[in-house]
Amino acid sequence: MTHPSITSNRPRWRSLGILALLLALLLWPLHELAERYYSARLAEQNRQTLDLYVANLLGTLRSYETLPGILGNLPVLRNALLSPSNSASLELANHQLMRLKHQTGADVIYLMRADGLTIASSNWDQPDSFVGRNFAFRPYFLEAMDGRLGRFFGLGNTSGKRGYYFGQAIEHGRERVGVLVVKLDLDRTETLWGNSPERLLVTDSQGVAILTSYPGWRFRTTRPLRAEEQEAIALHRPYPTLDLQQLELDPVLWLQQSRQLDEIGWTVSILTPASQLDRPVQSILAGGGIALLAILALYGLWLQRQRHYLDRIALSTRAQRELEARVLERTRDLESLNSRLKQEVLEREQAQQELVRAQDELVQAGKLSALGTMSASISHELNQPLAAIRSYADNARILLEHQRHDEVNANLQQISALTARAASIIAHLRAFARRDRHAPESMALQPALDDALALHAQRRRTLDVELIRDLPDAPLWVQAGETRLRQVLSNLIANALDALAERPLPRKLWIAARHDEQGVSLSLRDNGRGFSQEALNHALEPFFTTKTSTQGLGLGLAICDSLMRALGGELQIGNHPEGGAQLILHLRLAEPGTNPYPPEDLSA
């Protein structure tokens, strides 16, 4: 009879084998995906490298293609062609070409007569001098004498170096008297490509490798040559040999990308070893295999532990029953605790409401205290228009007795204007003293600032404080409480005037505002002595003050900070680098309202 544990384990290990087979089959699509991904990545890298090589090559050629036409107009070279028997003219031409060669970086610059004989050259003093040599068989000479820009790549017959030639005819009247040729040394261009796993290959129109980062491929053909191409090679002799061997490139071993340069008939190719693609793909496959082995190991561990599952279920059932009993008991305790917490929350909410009411009373008391402090200035502000009204009324009565009605009308207009001024002062006081709604609302910043400045106007004039405003003309709409914002601005202006009262003239107060996507920032700065380090650390704490007990209780900045936080803003205090205190209010932006002015008509 088979042991029960053996019969129960066989299906488990059979399922493990099936899982291993299924996971192994996943390696093939993983290989395809990895090969496709790294092929695209490598192709993009090769494309960028190829673009760089092409730009470098074309940039080098284009920087010289206009040079023969420009230099051919030099009088020294033209004179040498017109008087080839004059040794002095030829010597001047040789020295001129030598200077031009050093200035332009060309390999050789030389001057040819109409029959192809070189009469002056930048290497006239070198053993491989071109002077006296005839290059009439070269294509660049034939094209230049035909009126076109001559182009040709080839191996120098004299120097044995590869070069690219530009030729331009020099005309005298309507006659072409010679050709000026500029040769570029392409050996130096090839060395700039560096040594990397990728190999660069430049082939001409015959498919012959003329530039390559691998010397073994140089002057080998990438395709069979046609008969007319072999005849042209034999005629122009651009390569060191006429017996050109074909280059065999296995497409399995190399990944190739090419770019056609139509203007010169060349093809630039970059070839990357396929092994560069195999290494990352094999790494991905190795990682996938390790992951599959880890999955199999985890699955085997799960199968091993599954044998204890039924025992744990029975044990868990008993433990669950015991837990349910404990939970029921705990639930009754939690219900009792929940009832107590609800009562505590209710008491806390009532205490919070009492705190809010107390804070409102404290703010209102602070405003009334500020009104009491400003009472002398306000009395002076009202006494001036009232005294003037009485004077204008007395004058009007006398003028009426003398039938001077025009002057009476003028006095009455003055009385009306002074009455409006007194009404405006009272409206500012009423707006400042009025209780505020708790919910922030959309309001304009400038009218609230004007109200606060108006309440302290008399004291500011008494202290001879210069007010410097930098505010935009358009209203700045902010989220704030109308009265709470006036309270904050009034307190900050009052503190600034207190600080300025302790210093000699000149006394200045700067007010500036700016806005951005984050909100509106209002800056108030004075040229007083500024905050001490202790004041910076404790200025926003209630009852901290540097004044005497008769000057204040130290609640001003604490109330301002509390009001700003309630409005969703921020109050920052500090010292300006040029001296004096600087306070910045950060307020949230709001949608523009219908009326930027306070609810009360201040001009009524």
Q: Tell me: the pLDDT tens digits for 98-136?
A: 999 999 888 899 999 999 999 999 999 888 888 989 988
What share of the chain in percent tops pLDDT 90? 17
Burial of 448 (0-12, 13-18, 19+ CB in 10 A): buried
End-to-end CA gap in the chain: 112
Q: What is the DSSP letter of 384?
A: H
- Please check the confidence at residue 2 and state whether its pLDDT lies above 70: no
CB 181 within 8 A of CB 188: no
Which parts of 149-274 fold into alpha helices (H)? Answer: 186-191, 227-236
Tokens (6 digits) for 170: 């020099």
Question: 48 Cβ partners below 8 Å, 6+ apart?
Answer: none
Four-residue CA torsion sign, 198, 199, 205, 207:
negative
Q: What was the pLDDT predicted at 550?
A: 45
Q: How far is CA 195 from the centre of its chain?
A: 36
Q: How many helices (H) and strands (E) does the chain have?
A: 17, 16
Burial of 263 (0-12, 13-18, 19+ CB in 10 A): exposed
Find the mean pLDDT for residues 22-34.
71
Highest mean pLDDT among 217-221, 373-377, 533-537: 533-537
Of 136 and 30, the structure prediction assigns the larger pLDDT to 136
At residue 510 the predicted structure's pLDDT band, cuts being 50, 70 and 90, is very high
Find the mean pLDDT for residues 22-37.
72
- Please check the confidence at residue 601 and state whether its pLDDT lies above 50: no
Four-residue CA torsion sign, 260, 261, 266, 269:
negative
Q: Which strands form 162-172's sheet, in the order they lie side by side?
A: 118-121, 108-113, 175-185, 162-172, 150-155
At residue 11 the predicted structure's pLDDT band, cuts being 50, 70 and 90, is low
Residue 587 three-state SS? strand
What does the buried/exposed string (b/e) look like for 530-567 if buried means 16 or more CB atoms within 10 Å of the residue's CB?
bbeeebeebbbeeebbeeeeeebebbbbbbbbbbbebb
Q: Closest Cα partner for 458 from 382, 365, 551? A: 382
At residue 416 the predicted structure's pLDDT band, cuts being 50, 70 and 90, is confident
- Please check the confidence at residue 496 and state whether its pLDDT lies above 60: yes
- Please check the confidence at residue 600 and state whether its pLDDT lies above 50: no
Of 240-244, 272-276, 435-439, the one with minimum mean pLDDT is 435-439
Mean predicted lDDT score pLDDT of the chain: 79
What does the alpha-carbon distance between residue 501 and residue 505 come to, in Å, rounded to a whole number?
9
Find the mean pLDDT for residues 585-598.
78
Q: What was the pLDDT predicted at 508?
A: 94
506 upstream amide cis, omega within 30 of 0? yes
What does the alpha-carbon distance between residue 132 and residue 117 come to, in Å, rounded to a whole number?
6
CATH of 193-273, one of 3.30.450.20, 1.10.30.50, 3.30.360.10, 3.30.200.20: 3.30.450.20
Q: What was the pLDDT predicted at 358?
A: 66
Q: What was the pLDDT predicted at 437?
A: 53
Q: What was the pLDDT predicted at 431?
A: 54
Which parts of 158-219 fold into alpha helices (H)? Answer: 186-191
Q: How far is CA 123 from the centre of its chain?
A: 53
C-alpha pair distances (Å), 381 with each of 222, 370, 456, 459, 498: 102, 16, 10, 10, 20
Element (H, E) at 328: helix 309-373
- What proportions of the chain, in percent to the nearest 5, are helix, strand and coil? 55, 20, 25
Tokens (6 digits) for 39: 């092929």
Find the mean pLDDT for residues 171-187.
87
At residue 500 the predicted structure's pLDDT band, cuts being 50, 70 and 90, is very high
Q: Closest Cα partner for 162 from 108, 97, 225, 234? A: 108
- Please check the confidence at residue 40 and state whether its pLDDT lies above 70: yes
Of 489 and 381, the structure prediction assigns the larger pLDDT to 489
Of 71-75, 507-511, 535-539, the one with minimum mean pLDDT is 535-539
Find the mean pLDDT for residues 383-402.
78
At residue 6 the predicted structure's pLDDT band, cuts being 50, 70 and 90, is very low
Read off φ and ψ for residue 110, nearest 5 degrees.
-140, 160
At residue 382 the predicted structure's pLDDT band, cuts being 50, 70 and 90, is low
pTM of the model: 0.43
Find the mean pLDDT for residues 338-365.
77
- Please check the confidence at residue 521 and state whether its pLDDT lies above 90: yes
Find the mean pLDDT for residues 433-447.
71
Of 38 and 343, the structure prediction assigns the larger pLDDT to 343
At residue 301 the predicted structure's pLDDT band, cuts being 50, 70 and 90, is confident
Find the mean pLDDT for residues 517-545.
86
Enter the CATH code of domain 436-604: 3.30.565.10
Of 12-26, 241-255, 257-271, 284-298, the one with minimum mean pLDDT is 12-26
What share of the chain in percent tops pLDDT 70? 79
How many residues appear in the chain?
604
Q: What was the pLDDT predicted at 259?
A: 84
CB 80 within 8 A of CB 89: yes
